[in-house]
Amino acid sequence: MLSKNLQQVEENIALACEKAGRKREEVTLVAVSKTKPVSVLSEAYGIGVRDFGENKVQEICEKRESLPSDIRWHMIGHLQRNKVKHIIRDVALIHSVDTYRLAEEINIHAKKIKRIVPILIEVNIAGEATKFGVDAEETMQLAEEISKLDNLRVKGLMAVAPYVENAEDNRHYFQKIRELSVDIARENIDNVSMGVLSMGMTGDYTVAIEEGATIVRVGTGIFGARTYAANAK
Ligand SMILES: *Cc1c(COP(=O)(O)O)cnc(C)c1O
C-alpha cells in the first residue's frame, strides 16, 4: 500500500508541476511519519524516501537511532525551547520557528556545536487562534530580528493552512504566503533568503505547488490515517 500511495502522490506532484510550468526538482516531498513506527519508516526508506517530517522531538530522537543516517529529519511541529538541544545536531531543517525566543535558543545550541542551522519562519496565515505561527503582519520584523543570530539561516516560510474540504479554498492563503516571502526577499536582509516555501499537506498539496510551494508535507496521503494511542498524545 505504501509504495502505491507514494506513487500516487508522486504522480500528483508531477502533474501539479507540469500545470504550473515548474520543474519536478523544485519541489521536495517530505513524508510526514509522525505516530508511525520505525518499521513503516524503514519501508518508506526502502522505496527511496529520504525526507521525513516529525512533530515531536522525542519521536525524532527515538526513530533516528534505528534508521539510516542519510535520512533528513524535518522538525515540523511546535518546538519547546528546552528540547532544542536534543535535535540540534541532526535536524535538517526546523520548519516551525515562530518567536525570537525560540530562535535565540536554537542559536545558542547551534553555536555550542559550531553548526549553522537552517530554519523556516512559521506563519499563522489564516490567523487561527488554535494554530502556532507568527502573524503575517509581524513576519518581516521577526525575520529582521532573527537575522542578527549568527548561527541561524532563515531559508523561507512555512504555513499550515486551515483544514478544508475543498483545497481551492486554501489557494488564496498559499498566494498570501508567497507574496509575503517576495516582500521579505526584497528587503535583502543578511542571513535571510526566501527560497523555501513549506506549504501544502495531504488535502491541498497540489494547489500549494501551483502557488509556489518548494516543500510539501504529506502524511496521510503516503502512510494512511494516523491512530493516536488513547492516553499518549
Ligand atoms: C501532520 C502534519 C502534516 C501532514 O498532514 P497530512 O494531512 O496527514 O498530510 C503536515 N504538516 C504539519 C505541520 C503536520 O503537523
Mutate to test the pocket of ligand 1, among 36, 55, 123, 223 (most ligand atoms within 8 A of CB): 55
- Domain that residue 63 falls in: 2-17+27-223
- Distance between CA 203 and CA 97 in Å, rounded? 23
What is the tens place of the pLDDT at every residue in 11-60?
Answer: 999 999 999 999 999 999 999 999 999 999 999 999 999 999 999 999 99
> Which cell goes with 194?
526566501
Q: Decide if 208 is inside a domain.
A: yes
CA of 111 to the centre of ligand 1 (A): 30
> Which cell goes with 210?
501551483
Q: What's the Cα-to-Cα distance from 212 to each of 37, 162, 171, 194, rounded to whole Å?
A: 32, 18, 11, 12
In the chain, the number of structural domains is 1
CA of 32 to the centre of ligand 1 (A): 6
Burial 17-55 (b: 16+ CB within 10 A, else e): beebebeeeebbbbbbbbbbebebbebbbeeebebbbbb
Q: Decide if 22 is inside a domain.
A: no
Q: Decide if 73 is inside a domain.
A: yes
CA of 96 to the centre of ligand 1 (A): 12
Alpha carbon nearest to ligand 1 atom 4, residue: 219
Alpha carbon nearest to ligand 1 atom 6, residue: 219
What is the tens place of the pLDDT at every residue in 164-207?
Answer: 999 999 999 999 999 999 999 999 999 999 999 999 999 999 99
CA of 192 to the centre of ligand 1 (A): 25
- Distance between CA 102 and CA 85 in Å, rounded? 12
Confidence of residue 233 (pLDDT cuts 50, 70, 90): very low
Mutate to test the pocket of ligand 1, among 6, 76, 177 (most ligand atoms within 8 A of CB): 76
Q: Decide if 229 is inside a domain.
A: no
CA of 23 to the centre of ligand 1 (A): 24
Q: Decide if 147 is inside a domain.
A: yes
CATH of the domain at 49: 3.20.20.10
Q: Decide if 231 is inside a domain.
A: no
Q: What is the pTM of this model?
A: 0.96
Q: Decide if 76 is inside a domain.
A: yes
Q: Decide if 166 is inside a domain.
A: yes
